[in-house]
Amino acid sequence: MYTLKIVSDREALYQFASYVRVVQGVGDVYVEVGEPLYEHPLMKFYVHIKLEETYEQQKALQEIARLVELGRFTYVHYRNDEIEEAFEAVKYESFKK
């Protein structure tokens, strides 16, 4: 299970979660609502993503990283080396184009 802490408005976050649900290799997505922030309408959310073990996890993480890049989030935080590698690969991929 991977967890992303995201600061965003509710609409953008739930749109992101619905896109993550259809990524090949994603088994389940759960959004935990954190506390509202002083800048309305921003809130803190925790997105828990469970990947299927039968699919190549790095590909799924890279696709999720691409979705994060497209999202209009104020802040994204993650503490996982595998997620870090996926985000770096996606950033490098965008610089090559």
Ordered structural domains, the chain, with CATH:
2-96 (3.30.70.1340)
Query: The tokens of 60 are what?
Result: 């799924």
Quick check: 93 pLDDT over 80? no
19-60 pLDDT, tens digit each: 999 999 999 999 999 988 887 889 999 999 999 988 888 899
d(CA 4, CA 96) in angstroms, rounded, equals 26
Name the amino acid, one letter, at 95: F
Of all helices (H) and strands (E), which one includes residue 5? strand 2-8
Rg (CA), the chain: 13
57-88 pLDDT, tens digit each: 889 999 999 999 888 888 888 888 888 888 88
pTM for the whole thing? 0.85
d(CA 23, CA 12) in angstroms, rounded, equals 17
Quick check: 94 pLDDT over 70? no
d(CA 49, CA 3) in angstroms, rounded, equals 6
Q: Say what the pLDDT of residue 79 is.
A: 80
